[in-house]
Amino acid sequence: MYSNEKNVQILVGLLKKYNVSEIVLSPGGSDAPIVQSFQYDDFFHCYSVVDERNSIYFGIGISQIKNCPVACVCTAGTAVSNFLPGITEAYYQNVRIIAITADSPDYMLDQLRLQKIEQRGIFGNCVKKDITLPSVQTEEEEWACNRLCNETLLALDHHGKGPVHINLTIAKTLECNSEKLCEVKPVRRHDLIDYAEIRRRLFGKKVMIVVGAGLSTNEKLNSVCQIFFEHYNCIFSVETISNLRCDGCVTTYPMTETFSIPAEEKYIPDIVISVGNHIASYFLESYLRENRSKTENWLVNESGEIRDPYWSLSDIFEVNPITFIESIILDKSLEKKDHTYYNLWKNLYKKTERNIREFSSFHIAHIIAEKIPDGGVLHTAVLNSTRAMQFSNYLKKNIQCYCNLGALGIDGCVATFIGEAVSTKEPAYLLIGDLSFFYGMNGISIRGLTNNIRIILLNNGGGEEFKIKMNYPDIEEYVCASKQRKAKGWAVDCGFQYYEADNIDSVSYALDKFAEESDRPMFLEITIDMDKDAHLIRELYKQGRNESNEGIVGGIKAVVKKAIPDKYKGKAKEIYNIIRS
């Protein structure tokens, strides 16, 4: 029987998927469920070596002759320490050894727990990957365990061969009475890519290409994506920071954040291709994660590292996105022109469009998008500045967009933007809130500021983001850090041409000035009411959700109406009206 511990089952199952069958076992108590699980399964060829020090060297010999990875298993404590000499030898000989060590939970460390030592990182730099698999209690932990195992097994021969370490937490039981392993999902990494096979896999499928941050506005990228769209049933899910503008692009942020995507099968992609880095949307990730059993996710990434936000990663293509797409479109023999999937999402997008005319951060974003000249640079600070721009579709084709989404911190937005601005002769715009600006205000004192710099400060007197998302009492002082202050004195002292605005006309006037040639950098401070702006955004989200729910209810009513025989429909309507009232 297999161990009852799910992390053990996941590891054993994935070793089978990766065709690792040579197992060297050393006796012990903590590792007994692991040993038993390998011993129970006829797929594995097991060897018994009592001395852990010798077991790794024994595994090296097997690996050298058979040219395959070998797993070596030991119990907790000093048994793990005895793996070190052999692991060191394996590292410097580039031999694929998987050191599997049993362990007890972290909270027992330094608490007089018998046979509990610090096993994480015990092999130092002599392994290519070192992980500790958590005890699996939840769905999230199961996903994490599966991902960590894939990362580690892929590291065995990624950019050179060598050993890895998998430390297994045995938290619940030593019992082994499970007759089968839990479901596992291997990840395939491709460095030599069979593009004919890729085309075959894409044919007839609904494809969503999720384009994250980190890509530059690039004619070559736009061109190859345009051709891809012309021949495949796909959409490009983009945001402002995606920097992709070609046919087939749909700004999914307004839909996923303010509108519930219908649960119908036709909206769910068969294949998700991920390019670029982070996306700003939280709910697109949730939507794809909820439907992960119906999709497969391809990651196109030159690093080859696992990135699995949708919990459905199946393939990593270790190549530049432009090369990947360009190689697919070279042969069009399997391609079929079909835009039904794009039209479906495009029509959904139209339902979420909002014509916001109130003086607000969203309306200001519309005006900014209209007035930034083509070829310019736009940097949005985190959270509301980035969100507001997602609801504007007026940005011109060659505007380069950036945002510090990597760690999503308010620090550094100003200095990052200044670095971008001084590196180009094009007009460079920063849209930023007051908390972010005053946090990093020293950025505008950097020497060598250029005349193309245009800063737009949305000053609402605190952290509006928290008023949008949280319903805490007494939120002003500490959560929102509310404080009325002006940037005028500092901006003028730093050599900026300063403007201020508190209505649409004054905003438009200043942005018209921004578009003109200038002998110094420019600064626009816009005063907006935090409570009114937060209320407008909450209502925008609420309206979208209500419309979406009405559509869902309408669909359910249509199905029920069709299913009820005519003679009962009158009575059913009475019951419905009673419930509704």
User: Are 318 and 371 within one domain?
Assistant: no
Place of tokens 């209502």: 539
Bridge pairing between strands 22-25 and 70-74: parallel
pLDDT at 187: 96
Q: What is the pLDDT of residues 107-119, one digit of tens each?
A: 677 776 777 788 8
* Count of domains for the chain: 4
User: Are 264 and 308 within one domain?
Assistant: yes
Cα separation, 503 vs 361, whole angstroms: 11
Helices and strands (DSSP H and E) totals, the chain: 21, 19
User: Are 167 and 285 within one domain?
Assistant: no
| Structural domain ending residue among the three candidates 352, 376, 393 | 352
User: Are 17 and 134 within one domain?
Assistant: yes
User: Are 88 and 226 within one domain?
Assistant: no
Half-sphere exposure of 221 (CA within 13 A, CB side): 19
| CA-to-CA dists, residue 516 to 323, 367, 417, 508, 513, angstroms | 39, 16, 20, 13, 5
Query: Residue 118: which of 56, 164, 158, 167 has the closest Cα?
Result: 167
Cα separation, 484 vs 438, whole angstroms: 12
Cα separation, 428 vs 377, whole angstroms: 4
pLDDT at 573: 56
pLDDT at 536: 87
Instruction: Tell me, yes or no, whether 484 lies in a domain.
Output: yes
Instruction: Tell me, yes or no, whether 360 lies in a domain.
Output: no
| Structural domain ending residue among the three candidates 139, 157, 186 | 186
Q: CATH number, domain at 317? A: 3.40.50.1220
Cα separation, 344 vs 178, whole angstroms: 45
Query: Residue 313: which of 279, 272, 282 has the closest Cα?
Result: 272
pLDDT at 294: 95
User: Are 248 and 276 within one domain?
Assistant: yes
User: Are 104 and 49 within one domain?
Assistant: yes
pLDDT at 314: 97
Instruction: Tell me, yes or no, whether 359 lies in a domain.
Output: no
User: Are 320 and 400 within one domain?
Assistant: no
Instruction: Tell me, yes or no, whether 357 lies in a domain.
Output: no
pLDDT at 552: 44
Cα separation, 170 vs 202, whole angstroms: 42
Q: Name the CA radius of gyration of the chain, rounded.
A: 29
User: Are 243 and 340 within one domain?
Assistant: yes
Angle at 113 between CA 110 and CA 117, to 5 degrees: 55
Angle at 524 between CA 440 and CA 390, to 5 degrees: 75
Instruction: Tell me, yes or no, whether 314 lies in a domain.
Output: yes
Q: CATH number, domain at 487? A: 3.40.50.970
Bridge pairing between strands 234-238 and 130-133: unpaired
Phi, psi of 476 (to 5 degrees): -60, -55
User: Are 171 and 199 within one domain?
Assistant: no
User: Are 200 and 343 within one domain?
Assistant: yes
Residue-wise pLDDT tens for the chain (581 aa)? Answer: 899 999 999 999 999 999 999 999 999 988 999 999 999 999 999 999 999 999 999 999 999 999 999 999 999 888 999 999 999 999 999 999 999 999 988 767 777 677 778 889 999 999 999 999 989 999 999 999 999 999 999 999 999 999 999 999 987 667 887 888 999 999 999 989 999 999 999 999 999 999 999 888 788 999 999 999 999 999 999 999 999 999 999 999 988 888 888 889 999 999 999 999 999 998 999 999 999 999 999 999 999 999 999 999 999 999 999 999 999 998 877 666 789 999 999 998 888 777 777 899 999 999 999 999 999 999 999 888 998 898 887 788 889 999 998 888 888 999 999 999 999 999 999 999 999 999 999 999 999 999 999 999 999 988 888 877 787 878 888 888 888 899 999 999 999 999 999 999 999 999 999 999 999 999 999 999 998 988 888 888 777 666 665 544 444 444 445 455 555 555 555 554 544 44
pLDDT at 560: 45
Q: Residues with Cβ < 8 Å from 505, sequence gap 6 or more? A: none
Cα separation, 8 vs 23, whole angstroms: 14
Residue type, 347: N
Phi, psi of 333 (to 5 degrees): -65, -30
Instruction: Tell me, yes or no, whether 318 lies in a domain.
Output: yes
Place of tokens 């601005």: 421
pTM: 0.87
Domain that holds residue 155: 6-186
Cα separation, 259 vs 17, whole angstroms: 39
Instruction: Tell me, yes or no, whether 358 lies in a domain.
Output: no
Cα separation, 32 vs 403, whole angstroms: 50
Instruction: Tell me, yes or no, whether 342 lies in a domain.
Output: yes
Place of tokens 């384009």: 211
Cα separation, 264 vs 243, whole angstroms: 30
User: Are 152 and 88 within one domain?
Assistant: yes
| CA-to-CA dists, residue 250 to 180, 266, 274, angstroms | 44, 16, 15
Write down the H helix ranges in 353-463: 361-371, 384-390, 413-421, 434-439
